[in-house]
Amino acid sequence: MTSNGPNRKAPFQLAAMAYGGDYNPEQWPEETWHEDVRLMREAGVNLVSVGIFAWAKLEPRPGVYDFAWLDRVLDLLHANGVMVDLATATASPPPWLAKLHPESLPVTADGRTLWPGSRQQYCPSSPAYREAAARLVRMMAERYKHHPALVLWHVNNEYACHVSECFCDESARHFRRWLQQRYGSLDALNAAWGTAFWSQQYADWDEIQPPRAAPTFQNPTQQLDWRRFSSDALLECYELEHAILKELTPDVPVTTNFMHAFKPLDYWKWAQYEDLVTLDMYPDPTEPDAHVYAAMNYDLIRSLGTGRPWLLMEQAPGQVNWRPHNLVKEPGIMRLWSHQALARGSDGVMFFQWRASKAGSEKFHSGMVPHGGTETRTWREVVALGQELRRIEELRPTRIHAEAAILFDWENWWALELDSKPSADLRLVGQVRSYYDRLFERNVTVDFVSPGTTLSRYRLVLVPNLYMVRDETARELERFVEAGGTLVMSFFSGIVNEHDQIWLGGYPGPFRRLLGLRVEEFAPLAPGQTNTMRMADGHQFACNLWSDIIALEGAEVLGEFGEGWYAGRPALTRHTFGRGLAYYLATRPEPAGMAWLLARACHEAGVEPAAHVPAGVEAVRRQSGTATLLYLLNHGHEPADVALESPALDLLTGQRHCGIVTLEPRGVAILRS
Ligand code: GAL
């Protein structure tokens, strides 16, 4: 490892609320740069990400660098008051790298090479790629370390967005080294991987392969370790750059932009190396609940940064180019969704990209400056938002406090979704959303927590399908409930240890005491098949996907299955454990069932919504000392009246409201009371 370790410094915050986007001046003649900075001033842009895909322009031939143009760009930006998030430019190697080092190209599981002509065509384990990237980063840092425009380093770009794993021979060797470090001996590896099964026992490290295309199911622990390794291999690339930047510019914060709940990379691990956690988010305007998924990601990203301000690094001003049908953001949506990110902790609003490209595969992707220039709706909305952001600096010292948390673990995600399970339809993000979406509707703010987290600051902890669990995590959940916390856990939790080997002694081994039950067998449902949950209080809900056949060991039954051979067996239980309560859900209820359960759990845990508002209105509370700001966002198509508990001032309009504030469709208010 090349790293000088995760960040331990004080949390970093930009000097002002950021507004801007990816700026690719290398695609334009120099005259255009002058127009760019004039327009940036007009729009209130104060931060741009420069040079993300400029490697070929910066190093046109191996070892031959041309920084003169970038010098002029940075000087011009600085002269116009625009701060620079400077990219290390390593996301898209120039064609010469592949020509000189064809072995640096990534290879798929079935042995196909991914060629240049697109982007991200590098093998994460390739020494040639790593050396060339490190050389470039060192040159960049040496050259710009004192440049006054530089406020942030933008390492690479969306690691793994296209290539998250490589199966070439170099990667195979790297995988073996990684396994040697993890296990120390082949005996330990054979035991962890359970290689007695199907005659897979290894007698020599060199016999071990990445999980390349194979006749049928691959060893699951091998697949799981491959996922761990692939995330780590890219993290090593990031750490390599991070270490050089920290050596040469110790005072300049470093980030790399994350993508939504993105399966290939264990962002809990990655986030430790980020001075500022940044996110790219592209909600799909065709989805009626796109804003709910966005909110979930904003809460996840805030949690990755342990509650610190984060930054929305990319979003589209209008349409994207990469969906089959690229719908525009209708008037008001870009503003509404930008405010949503601010409400949930972003310290600014950034776009991909500043000026829409005239060539290349993203030429139909929207830009802050559209092809049509400034006489366009997009530009008018961009300018208006930029002006509005200057009025809400007061937001920046405030933070979000959640009393509920969802446990989210990448390793569990990988393990849960490996093949050969009782049901192939069990997907973690869908399950997380079955909780998150209902809490969103209630305006209950949630954090996400990793397995290692101490949970004592929460009242309610939600555990969707923690299939793979380490003993320490199970003990922490017990401590949480014992001390008075409320827990809700879904089926197929506590089934395997970190090697994907069954916790023997009756499912769910590590949670039996806590839940007061034993699962005798899993009875998944076929697609389209449903059952019912009959609640003791008379409610009845449809359920699907899964049923656990439960034997009680102290838990009480709150609902039972209504149909089939296991009618009458528990579908929802509750167990008093110490001073707290542990709910267990043996199936997937329809949304109304989840809403019923979570309303009850919130009530018992004493978890309150941020505000009581009409359906379709999102409410988030932000606090600093005794000051509270209430962010209200109307995602509905009708005006919404929100009753205020006390008179309040809207930071956006400067208006004082008493009694009721009316939000227009897509309307936003930030109220200080
Ligand atoms: C992001 C990427 C940008 C651009 C954008 C288009 O995933 O980081 O470089 O391609 O998508 O939406």
User: Could you tell me which residues come within 8 angstroms of residue 199 by beta carbon, excluding any fewer than 6 positions away?
Assistant: none
Domain for residue 8, yes or no? no
Percent of the chain with pLDDT over 90: 97
Is any ligand 1 atom within 6 A of the Cβ of residue 280? yes
432 and 508 co-located in one domain? yes
Shortest-distance Cα residue to atom 3 of ligand 1? 352
Shortest-distance Cα residue to atom 4 of ligand 1? 352
pLDDT for the residue numbered 39:
98
What is the tens place of the pLDDT at every residue in 53-86?
Answer: 999 999 999 999 999 999 999 999 999 999 999 9
Query: CA torsion, points 367, 371, 373, 376, in degrees to nearest 10?
Result: -80
Domain for residue 396, yes or no? no
Q: Which candidate in 59, 158, 476, 478 is catalytic?
A: 158
Last residue of a domain, one of 367, 390, 413: 390
What is the tens place of the pLDDT at every residue in 577-587?
Answer: 999 999 999 99
User: What gap in Å lies between CA 5 and CA 246, rounded to an integer?
Assistant: 10
User: What gap in Å lies between CA 474 and CA 467, rounded to an integer?
Assistant: 11
506: pLDDT strictly greater than 80: yes
pLDDT for the residue numbered 452:
84
Domain for residue 9, yes or no? no
Q: How many domains does the chain have?
A: 3
- Within 323-422, where are the H helices? 333-343, 377-389, 410-416
pLDDT for the residue numbered 13:
83
What is the tens place of the pLDDT at every residue in 372-403?
Answer: 999 999 999 999 999 999 999 999 999 999 99
253 and 230 co-located in one domain? yes
Q: Which candidate in 59, 239, 314, 498 is catalytic?
A: 314
346 and 437 co-located in one domain? no
pLDDT for the residue numbered 646:
93
Please give the mean pLDDT across all residues of the chain.
97
8: pLDDT strictly greater than 60: no
Shortest-distance Cα residue to atom 11 of ligand 1? 352
Is any ligand 1 atom within 6 A of the Cβ of residue 320? yes
546 and 657 co-located in one domain? no
Domain for residue 398, yes or no? no
Atom of ligand 1 minimally distant from the CA of 52? 9
371 and 517 co-located in one domain? no
Average pLDDT over residues 559-565: 98
- What does each C-alpha distance from 449 to 218, 230, 468 come to in angstroms? 30, 23, 15
Shortest-distance Cα residue to atom 10 of ligand 1? 362
- What does each C-alpha distance from 381 to 34, 178, 377, 517 come to in angstroms? 22, 50, 6, 56
- Residue 230: CATH number of its domain: 3.20.20.80
333 and 426 co-located in one domain? no
433 and 571 co-located in one domain? yes
572 and 492 co-located in one domain? yes
Domain for residue 331, yes or no? yes
371 and 435 co-located in one domain? no
5: pLDDT strictly greater than 90: no
What is the tens place of the pLDDT at every residue in 223-278?
Answer: 999 999 999 999 999 999 999 999 999 999 999 999 999 999 999 999 999 999 99
Is any ligand 1 atom within 6 A of the Cβ of residue 157? yes
- Return the number of other C-beta atoms located less than 10 Å from residue 539's C-beta: 14
Q: Which domain holds residue 66?
A: 18-390
Is any ligand 1 atom within 6 A of the Cβ of residue 159? no
Active site residue 604: no
What is the tens place of the pLDDT at every residue in 425-442?
Answer: 999 999 999 999 999 999
Active site residue 498: no
- Residue 437: CATH number of its domain: 3.40.50.880
pLDDT for the residue numbered 625:
87
- Residue 656: CATH number of its domain: 2.60.40.1180
510 and 488 co-located in one domain? yes
pLDDT for the residue numbered 3:
44
pLDDT for the residue numbered 626:
85
pLDDT for the residue numbered 14:
87
Whether the CA torsion 105, 106, 108, 114 is positive or negative: it is negative
Domain for residue 440, yes or no? yes
Domain for residue 11, yes or no? no
pLDDT for the residue numbered 639:
98
**Mapping DSSP to helix (H, G, I), strand (E, B) and coil, where does residue 150 land?**
strand
568 and 633 co-located in one domain? no
Pocket test for ligand 1, best of 22, 280, 320, 365 (most atoms within 8 A of CB): 280
What's the 143 CA to ligand 1 centre distance in angstroms? Answer: 27
pLDDT for the residue numbered 2:
38
Domain for residue 100, yes or no? yes
Is any ligand 1 atom within 6 A of the Cβ of residue 476? no
Last residue of a domain, one of 332, 362, 390: 390
642 and 517 co-located in one domain? no
What's the 70 CA to ligand 1 centre distance in angstroms? Answer: 21
Last residue of a domain, one of 552, 576, 605: 605
